Amino acid sequence: MSDHNENPPLGTMTPRRRPKPDVKEIDGRRLKPSTLMMGHGFDPKLSEGSLKAPIFLTSTFAFESAAAGKRHFEGITGKRPGGAEGLVYSRFNNPNQEIVEDRLSVWEEAEDALVFSSGMSAIATTMMALVSQNDVIVHSGPLYAATETMIAKIMSKFGITFLDFPAGAKPEDIQEMLQKAKDIADDRGSKVALVYLESPANPTNALVDIEGVSAARDAVFGTGDDMPPVAIDNTFLGPLWQRPLDHGADIVLYSLTKYVGGHSDLVAGAALGEKRWLDPIRAMRNTIGTITDPNTAWMLLRSLETVELRMSRAGENAAKVCAFLKTHPKVEGLGYLGMIEDARQQDIYERHCLGAGSTFSVFIKGGEEESFRFLDNLKIAKLAVSLGGTETLASHPAAMTHISVSDDRKAALGITDNLVRISIGVEDADDLIADFAQALDAV
């Protein structure tokens, strides 16, 4: 037996990096995520009493001993399950990234978390880890444009094929599609490797029935080895307003660039879920180096301290702004989760969502010309893509983020020339209403 199965002699252990014990409850009361964001996963005693975690700007870490180095590499390479127990090299792990992962897990009550250099690198690394040559992917539509590109243009280079269903599809139609995907995979001698969701869909805010998808997956595949995981991009509503792991999803993906980062000053991503799903993704991240850097990880620690405060305020602001816009004579309609008109969408909302979010679409009476006039007259809201920051942003998807989408597909997805997408920030709600009022007057 090799030495890693024995208890290492005292003095050869890596100095501990995580606080012990980490206070997670007081007198039987489980502490809330917003409380844990200030200290969980970091012990000032381990860093000269520094209240905030220092930024560990180092590419590599000195081993206590040769045996410790061997043990750490066994963890990194998966020779020994459970991941690395020590710090090795910043492409694999670093303290700032590990603290962010510990804190992100708290929000989702996830067993494990991985942070990435961007939302897209989280999504791409997940797909590369879980999908093999000739496999089949089933996904909801529409998806974030770069995710669509990843599946349709990049994964397809490896012989991967895909089927997609509209976000609001009924469970029986999803089940039929999964069965079709399984038949295709059986014919090809491959497997359905991934069920990939994005909910709500951008920019229409159409919701996917995560519970329905998970039940359909179980019905078609059972719980055997060939069961594909259900992964979901939760960027628009997480971590506050939707908890997909509670509804049968296996992997939750994020662009942390949006609400979690929240200040429009960083780019990062994450994947959360059970270790059984994340271990291969971690191994892929170790290989290709899509981990977040220490500076960005430190910024995310700053952001997580206020994520509940920011999202709550933005959500309250959005409700007030939408109440104003709803009855405005120059507004044709709203795509806001707090004012759903479709009964099936409302049912999905009530089962899955804890809040309506602060990103929505507003349909201006008229077309591109009227929408542009509205956008050009905004004084507080800035014209920019992205969302989830402290500042209010407005954009025109048909002419910007979705400009390369064909007219047919735009029509099918409901991306019209009079659709303006708004992401509400944490400004004063009445100031925002005054801004929208004067911009609409100018139309």
Question: Which residue, 86 or 229, is less far from ligand PLP as judged by CB?
Answer: 229
- Binding piece for ligand PLP, criterion CB under 6 A, among 60-68, 114-122, 328-336, 341-349: 114-122
With contacts defined by CB under 6 A, name the span among 93-101, 130-138, 251-259, 361-369 that binds ligand PLP.
Answer: 251-259
Q: Binding of ligand PLP at residue 421 (CB under 6 A)?
A: no
Report, in Å, the least distance between residue 22 CB and ligand PLP.
29
Q: Are 134 and 187 in contact (CB under 8 A)?
A: no
252 lies in the binding site for ligand PLP (CB under 6 A): no
- Of 115-123, 179-187, 306-314, 418-426, the window that binds ligand PLP (rule: CB under 6 A) is 115-123
Interaction pattern, residues 72-111, with ligand PLP; x per rule: CB under 6 A: ----------------------------------------
Among 267, 281, 325, 348, binds ligand PLP (CB under 6 A): 267
In the complex, what is the shortest distance from the CB of residue 235 to ligand PLP, in angstroms, rounded to a whole number?
A: 4
Pick from 228, 269, 315, 357: which binds ligand PLP (CB under 6 A)? 269
Query: Is 209 or 233 the residue whose CB approaches ligand PLP more closely?
Result: 233
Site for ligand PLP in 177-216 (CB under 6 A): 198, 202
Task: Name the segment binding ligand PLP (CB under 6 A); options: 229-237, 323-331, 340-348, 406-414.
Answer: 229-237
Give the residue with the Cβ less far from ligand PLP, 255 or 264: 255
Decide: is 144 part of the binding site for ligand PLP (CB under 6 A): yes
Among 90, 204, 242, 257, binds ligand PLP (CB under 6 A): 257
SS (H, E, C) the chain: CCHHHCCCCCCCCCCCCCCCCCCCEECCEECCHHHHCCCCCCCHHHHCCCCCCCCCCCCECCCCCHHHHHHHHHHHHCCCCCCCCCCCECCCCCHHHHHHHHHHHHHHCCCEEEEECCHHHHHHHHHHHHCCCCCEEEEEECCCHHHHHHHHHHHHHHCCEEEEEECCCCHHHHHHHHHHHHHHHHHHCCCEEEEEEECCCCCCCCCCCHHHHHHHHHHHHCCCCCCCCEEEECCCCCCCCECHHHHCCCEEEEECCCCCCCCCCCCCEEEEECHHHHHHHHHHHHHHCCECCHHHHHHHHHHHCCHHHHHHHHHHHHHHHHHHHHCCCCEEEEECHHHCCCHHHHHHHHHHECCCCCEEEEEECCCHHHHHHHHHHCCCCEECCCCCCCCCEEECCCCCCCCCCCHHHHHHHCCCCCEEEEECCCCCHHHHHHHHHHHHHCC
By CB atoms closer than 10 A (0-12, 13-18, 19+), residue 3 is: exposed
Q: Which is nearer to ligand PLP, 105 or 199 (CB)?
A: 199
**Interface with ligand PLP (CB under 6 A), residue from 93, 118, 418, 423:** 118
Instruction: Compare residues 118 and 126 and give the one whose CB is closer to ligand PLP.
Output: 118
Q: Taking CB positions, which residue lies at the least distance from ligand PLP? A: 119
> Which one of 71, 139, 217, 258 is in contact with ligand PLP (CB under 6 A)?
258
Q: Which one among 105, 255, 264, 416 touches ligand PLP, defined by CB under 6 A?
A: 255
Q: How far is the CB of 186 from ligand PLP (least distance, A)?
A: 31
Binding site for ligand PLP (CB under 6 A): 118-120, 144, 198, 202, 233, 235-236, 255, 257-258, 267, 269
